[in-house]
């Protein structure tokens, strides 16, 4: 156990704001029952929930310096992240297997839930840093919350994106990038 503590602390420092920073009230690291962490207990994973049709993907690049946690129904996105999506054919199919099992919840640790309206999200998290219209026909609205934690080499960019279609939350993505 003692040998694991330095590794755990290193992973924590890469994926969490420094103790001196005061995180904004919207900041969250829990999505669909999974944490935005990368260490011995929190590895890269993709889960497909057949009942809801949602995928949960935790990915890490650059030895954990870039982390993302995504809750989506977008099979193309999941495939492009390197996972083999069942019953989805594409030219460049992912290699990594997806676990087929129920996702514990379709909510964040702050209580934002798939299906919420933009107003419900703003009530729980406050005003976003920016609002964007995306998609080929600008059919999606994204509420984006951003924050820079730390200074210099210890700086971490933190972003949470809540994507809506037809006034309903359809996708949530958490991102943390050290030194980005």
pLDDT digits (tens, 9 = 90+) for 39-97: 878 888 999 999 999 999 999 887 767 899 999 999 999 988 888 887 777 666 567 88
Can you tell me the distance from the alpha carbon of 39 to that of 36, in angstroms, rounded to the nearest whole number? 10
User: Which pLDDT value is given to residue 85?
Assistant: 87
Q: Could you tell me the residue range of the domain that residue 131 belongs to?
A: 4-178
Q: Provide the domain count of the chain.
A: 1
Element (DSSP H or E) covering residue 110: none
Q: Output the pTM of the full model.
A: 0.84
pLDDT value for 86? 79
């Amino acid at each position: 156990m003692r040998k694991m503590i330095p590794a755990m602390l290193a992973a924590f420092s890469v994926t969490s704001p420094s103790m001196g920073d005061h995180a904004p009230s919207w900041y969250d690291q829990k999505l669909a029952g999974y944490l935005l962490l990368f260490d011995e207990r929190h590895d890269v994973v993709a889960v497909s929930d057949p009942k809801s049709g949602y995928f949960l993907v935790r990915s890490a690049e650059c030895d954990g310096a870039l982390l993302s946690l995504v809750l989506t129904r977008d099979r193309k996105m999941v495939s492009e992240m390197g996972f083999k999506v069942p019953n989805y054919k594409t030219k460049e199919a992912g290699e990594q297997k997806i676990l087929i099992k129920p996702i514990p919840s379709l909510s964040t640790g702050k209580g934002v839930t798939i299906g919420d309206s933009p107003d419900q999200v703003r009530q729980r998290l406050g005003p976003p840093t920016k609002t964007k219209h995306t998609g080929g026909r600008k059919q999606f609205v994204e509420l984006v919350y951003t924050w820079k934690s730390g200074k210099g080499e210890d700086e971490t960019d933190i972003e949470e994106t809540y994507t809506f279609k037809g006034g309903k939350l359809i996708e949530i993505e958490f991102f943390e990038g050290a030194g980005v």
